[in-house]
């Protein structure tokens, strides 16, 4: 066990009784056959379960739709990517030389998948309680500070309504790149508002996820510019 992996376990709040699970969770398919995709599949389900349980406790008066929207925000690729960076996963990922040279250790989709794989590995290693502890450590602060009202609409819907309220055309989305094999593709999408000369890109494991990320980035920039005296302000 290297010092980097020992430090990672400390940050996770779980020490693996089966270190091989930890190694597998950090192994991209480009590195070898014993990669993390099966653990990612499991971790995705475990993450959704644990976050659902935490949200159920946190928002006692909220309905299914509200809880689903908050959960979708918490487990989306952006959130997983940020958590993976906080954990320092780029320093411990196992990638092929080609993937590493291409910047794979910082790619959002690879890091998000690895984080889910870590959660799946913790579940196999220590059961639900271990996975709950890891997820709580990673997302507990976000859940405690979350407000249902903030997530009433997804970014694409909010962006469209923001533009329509200012009598501007709705955005357009187009796929600019796809990477990976058919069963594990990553989509890169560009969202644009031609009337304002604005464009942003998003990435995700589905076209919809990539579009949502692009829309969120466009919306963030537009809101920042929506100040008194700005031409974007109605």
Give the domain ranges of the chain.
Answer: 3-151, 155-225
Neighbours of 1 (CB within 10 A): 11
CATH number of 3-151: 1.10.1520.10
Is residue 66 part of the annotated active site? The answer reads no
Of 36, 207, 185, the C-alpha closest to 116 is 36
Global model pTM greater than 0.85 = no
Q: State the Cα–Cα distance between residues 153 and 158, nearest whole angstrom.
A: 6
Is residue 44 part of the annotated active site? The answer reads yes
Q: State the Cα–Cα distance between residues 35 and 99, nearest whole angstrom.
A: 14
More confident residue, 100 or 232: 100
User: Residue 50 CA to chain centroid, in angstroms?
Assistant: 16
Three-class DSSP labels, 121-184: HHHHHHHHHHHHHHHHHHHHHHHHHCCHHHHCCCHHHHHHHHHHHCCCCCCEEEEEEEECCHHH
Catalytic residue among 44, 77, 125, 200: 44
β-partners of residue 127 are none
Candidate from 65-69, 77-81, 108-112, 191-195 with smallest mean pLDDT: 65-69
Mean pLDDT (the chain) is 89
Overall fold of domain 155-225: Double Stranded RNA Binding Domain (3.30.160)
Q: State the Cα–Cα distance between residues 73 and 105, nearest whole angstrom.
A: 23
Q: State the Cα–Cα distance between residues 158 and 152, nearest whole angstrom.
A: 9
pLDDT for res 59 = 85
Q: For 3-21, how does the pLDDT look when each residue is reduced to its tens digit (9 = 90+)?
A: 999 999 999 999 999 999 9
Of 51, 143, 138, the C-alpha closest to 88 is 138
Q: For 86-143, how does the pLDDT look when each residue is reduced to its tens digit (9 = 90+)?
A: 999 999 999 999 999 899 889 999 999 999 999 999 999 999 999 999 999 998 888 8
Of 176, 24, 48, 202, the C-alpha closest to 114 is 24
- Asked whether the domain spanning 155-225 has the same topology as the one spanning 3-151, the reply is no
Catalytic residue among 77, 116, 200, 203: 116
Q: For 135-183, how does the pLDDT look when each residue is reduced to its tens digit (9 = 90+)?
A: 999 988 888 877 666 665 688 988 998 999 899 999 999 999 998 877 7
């Amino acid at each position: 066990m290297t010092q980097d992996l020992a430090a990672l376990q400390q940050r996770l709040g779980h020490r693996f009784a089966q270190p091989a699970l930890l190694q597998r969770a950090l192994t991209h398919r480009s590195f070898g056959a014993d990669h993390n995709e099966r653990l990612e599949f499991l971790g995705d389900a475990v993450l959704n379960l644990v976050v659902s349980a935490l949200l159920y406790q946190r928002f006692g008066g909220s309905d299914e739709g509200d809880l689903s929207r908050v959960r979708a925000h918490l487990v989306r690729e952006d959130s997983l990517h940020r958590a993976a960076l906080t954990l320092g996963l780029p320093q411990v990922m196992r990638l092929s030389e080609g993937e590493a040279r291409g910047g794979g250790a910082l790619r959002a989709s690879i890091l998000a998948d690895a984080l889910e794989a870590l959660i799946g590995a913790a579940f196999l290693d220590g059961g639900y309680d271990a996975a709950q502890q890891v997820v709580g450590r990673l997302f507990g602060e976000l859940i405690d500070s979350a407000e249902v009202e903030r997530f009433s609409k997804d970014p694409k819907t909010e962006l469209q309504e923001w533009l329509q309220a200012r009598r501007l055309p709705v955005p357009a989305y187009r796929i600019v790149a796809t990477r990976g094999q058919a069963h594990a593709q990553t989509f890169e999408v560009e969202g644009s508002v031609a009337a304002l000369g604005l464009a942003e890109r998003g990435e995700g494991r589905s076209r919809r996820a990539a579009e949502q990320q692009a829309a969120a980035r466009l919306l963030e920039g537009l809101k920042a510019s929506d100040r008194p005296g700005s031409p974007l302000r109605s």
